[in-house]
Amino acid sequence: MTIKVAILGFGTVGEGVWETLHTHHEYIQKKLSTPIEITSILVKDSNKKRNLPDSVQVTTDIEEVFQQPVDVVLEAIVGKQPAYQYVTRAIEHGAHVITANKEMFAHYGPHLLELAKEHNVWIGYEATTAGGTPVIRTIDQMLQVNQIKSIQGIVNGTSNYILTQMTKHQNSFEDALLAAQQKGYAEADPSNDVDGYDAFYKAMILSQLAYQDQPNWDEVYLEGIRTISSQDIDKATIQGQKWKHVATIELRHGAPRASIQPMQLNEDHPLYNIDGVENALSIQTDLLGSITLSGPGAGKLPTASAMIEDLLYVFQKERQQEAQYV
């Protein structure tokens, strides 16, 4: 058997997946004991010059993707649509789905997880949150025995980079944002990051995982980092504190609550030292106590690695199940 893979979206992340599947080809094949074949890549612009072999179907038409055999779809598109429509199609087609799309998965995760169950396929979403840092798998693992009391996280690298620049180099917000844009950490329109939407989506995904439920979106307090002035930063520094953009998810009276907002953290807070584009989660549990996990929040290879870990996870599970009964 060969595992047939389709990649949807060929931006930074999609390309990273393609590259990693090639550079780590032998290693991955050994882990799976099965060859992997990329059958199709769905792109936006088919005229763009890409260095891809002829054996791979490059298409702008999702129907052509599913005219080929597909065992798993790696979805690396940005935004809700058409990504949602495509992954729904994939699940109904009987393919596993691995997604890096936080906006889509925050909106439709609950429904997609149900749909996947019905169709006996699996959805991997490690790459949606904190890039390559394995937060989803770690929380999932803890949930085996522990109940999660709360999660606090720095889940947007751009905002954290800006706040770090403002703190370490006394930059103004505008200068720090410019630096982030020059380094490629921030988009030309930075709203998604600095106004907290990106962190909001990740918080909803974490809530779904930790509590099998999301808060009512209207009741989530959402504040970005534009309100933090240089004066605020200086005041915090004098007090031995740092401003961080923190997503908090917790269970209150049996229902999940969340807030995403700038917070002044003391030196002994587990997120105090998370600087630059780094992401981190601090997870409070009933038995294990407090666990903190930090690492790269984005990036081509970390995100690709997270997606491929999901891919290996699902097929190793399948293979184990088969091996047992051969």
Q: Does 141 bind a second copy (CB under 8 A)?
A: yes
Cα separation, 22 vs 28, in Å, equals 9
Residues binding a second copy: number (CB under 8 A):
46
Q: In a 10 Å sphere around its CB, with 0-12 CB exposed, 13-18 middle and 19+ buried, how is residue 266 labelled?
A: exposed
Question: Residue 10 corresponds to which tokens in the numbers above?
Answer: 């060929």
Q: Which is nearer to a second copy, 95 or 142 (CB)?
A: 142
Q: Strands 57-59 and 36-42, how do they pair?
A: parallel
Contact code string over 284-313 relative to a second copy, x by CB under 8 A = -x-xxxxxxxxxx--x-xx-xxx-xx--xx
Strand stretches in the chain, DSSP E: 3-8, 36-42, 57-59, 72-75, 96-99, 123-124, 148-154, 221-222, 242-252, 255-265, 278-285, 290-296
Neighbouring CB atoms inside 10 A of 30's CB total 9
Q: Which is nearer to a second copy, 20 or 259 (CB)?
A: 20
As a whole number of Å, the end-to-end CA separation of the chain is: 14
Catalytic residue of the set 202, 242, 244, 300:
202
CB of 70 to a second copy, least distance (A): 21
Contact code string over 216-255 relative to a second copy, x by CB under 8 A = ----------------------------------------
**DSSP result, 255-279:** EEEEEEEEEEE-TTSTTTT--TTEE
Active site residue 31: no
Question: Interaction with a second copy in 268-287: which residues (CB under 8 A)?
Answer: 270, 272-273, 285, 287
Cα separation, 23 vs 214, in Å, equals 38
Contact code string over 22-61 relative to a second copy, x by CB under 8 A = --x--xx--x------------------------------
Are 202 and 247 a contacting pair, CB within 8 Å?
yes
Q: Which is nearer to a second copy, 47 or 144 (CB)?
A: 144
Q: Does 88 bind a second copy (CB under 8 A)?
A: no
Report the catalytic residues: 202
What residue ranges bind a second copy (CB under 8 A)? 20, 24, 27-28, 31, 132-134, 137-138, 141-142, 144-147, 270, 272-273, 285, 287-296, 299, 301-302, 304-306, 308-309, 312-313, 316-317, 320-321, 324-325
